Amino acid sequence: MKPAAVACSLTAAELREREASLLARLRSGVTATEELPDGYAFTFEGDGKWLVRAAEVVAAERDCCPFLTFEVVAQPDHGPITVRITGPEGSKEFLRTILGEPGRTPWESPLPENRWVNGYPCSPLTGSCVLPTKYAERKSRGRVL
């Protein structure tokens, strides 16, 4: 089986909505962020609401970003909840465009104007990456982003 491309299948409008709602709610509860070689680990308080929010994000993101691996760990006695999001080469950079650098929102992260993930362009405004088939189509028309 061919590995999935490191690209989100959401449209720019869908991604903005996701960032403003579901991802923003989850980011608001992050108590610690750990940078991993191939992604990030986010820690939340052990309250059940964060476990539910994490599960909502994992369910939603699995549909549009099938290349990512999600691990949710809930420590005993209602201890902290950790969500690890990892993936193949290029995933960490992709996550940074969507989630921002640890401790920063995406729009505060100092990322270059022209971002590329696995050789495909990502919008500097939305972080949405152009899928390979759409990239070839847009490039042939002179419209990459």
pLDDT digits (tens, 9 = 90+) for 16-52: 888 888 888 888 889 999 999 999 999 999 999 999 9
Mean pLDDT (10-residue bins), the chain, 145 residues: 76 84 87 92 93 94 93 96 94 80 46 46 47 48 43
Q: What is the pLDDT at residue 109?
A: 42
Q: What is the pLDDT at residue 10?
A: 87
Mean residue pLDDT of the chain comes to: 76
What structural domains does the chain harbor?
12-113 (3.10.28)
Q: Please give the Cα distance from 108 to 111 (Å, whole number).
A: 9
